[in-house]
Amino acid sequence: MSESIVDADELRHRVAAFLAEHDPATTDRLEFLRARFDAGLAWVHYPAGLGGLGAPRALQQVVDAEFAAAGAPDNNPRRIGIGLGMAAPTILRFGTEEQKRRFLRPLWTGEEVWCQLFSEPGAGSDLAALGTRAVRDGADWVVTGQKVWTSTAHTARWAILVTRTDPDVPKHQGMTYFVCDMTDPGVEVRPLRQITGEAEFNEVFLNGARIPDAHRLGAVGEGWKVAQTTLMNERVAIGGHALPREGGMVGVVAGTWRERPELRTPDLHDRLLRLWVEVEAFRLAGVRLRQQLAVGEPGPEGSGMKLAFARLNQALSGLEVELLADEGLTYDDWTMRRPEQVDFTGREAGYRYLRAKGNSIEGGTSEILRNIVAERVLGLPAEPRVDKDVAWKDLPR
């Protein structure tokens, strides 16, 4: 199918026809999702044959609403968020046709989980300083190094990986981007236990892992360019997702306020009102951001959304703990767990308060995001960067 679908009514008709042939009540869940992808009703703005119809991105909500109303299964987007929000748009933009057809379908259906091998112990906020080496060996690349803070590495089949392939040029120029097989014998995943008690994050050791050149995304030495697409989409995925009014953390806190009048004080009431207004402004800004995304690639505005998301989540979780007093300091499950996804609203207040501390680190630290907003959104002078023309091997570490 090559024609562009631009009409919401036509999309509704296509969904209705699909549901008539694939009854959600009787069709196997995975079979249903595979058929939805093949019908172009997964990502409607993706090209035909890759889960889409070449339709405007804004029409995705029309399709999703029709499937939700029919009680159709979804692809558990929380579990596969890294694949959906980061790997898929990067593969779509930089992947070969063979790569797109190999990876996008099982990614969307959730058959293959993805993780992101970017940050390192010595290259977190300054990602371009990374030192994980990839050396060409015939048709393969041999990769050695360490990555850290890797969510879902313990469940992932594939990873998006940025490496150092040329240490003799400035740091941004010597990077190359790959798709890494997490089942390779040279890949070792170790849990990182967090302040919440669970091990949602991991450190990943690459000990001579072999990656075929056919799994390279973009040209050799252009990994920073490819990674920028991933990072911009990551920040939108974290901070720019659609929520209804009083969705997310503010809904939980407001619900506690309404249900527990004995906990209220004038000061807490004032703080809750102020945060409620800020969250509503944030939600409406997200609507505007998604309208911009409908006509182009994510830009630096997504960094502002992710920055606000982290600040509001931390403020709201802190207010909830104060509201609940001693009751807010505990939660039931401190055991060492290896969760497949993060659930803020389905856990106790104490868990939410502790887990929200990570929001200002994951997906780009708030300090780095402030720099991006200042320089690329507000047009303020850039910070001095004395290392931009220095070969990576000559940088102090």
Q: List active site positions.
A: 234
- 98-103 LR contacts (CB < 8 Å, sep 24+): 98/214, 99/179, 99/214, 99/215, 99/217, 100/50, 101/49, 101/50, 103/158, 103/179
28: left (phi over 0), alpha (psi -120 to 50) or beta: beta
- 355-362 LR contacts (CB < 8 Å, sep 24+): 355/194, 355/196, 356/249, 356/310, 356/313, 356/314, 356/316, 356/317, 357/195, 357/314, 358/194, 359/309, 359/310, 359/313, 359/314, 360/310, 360/311, 360/314, 361/149, 362/149, 362/151, 362/238
Residue whose token pair is 């890494």: 180
| Nearest CA-CA partner of 217 in 85, 103, 49 | 103
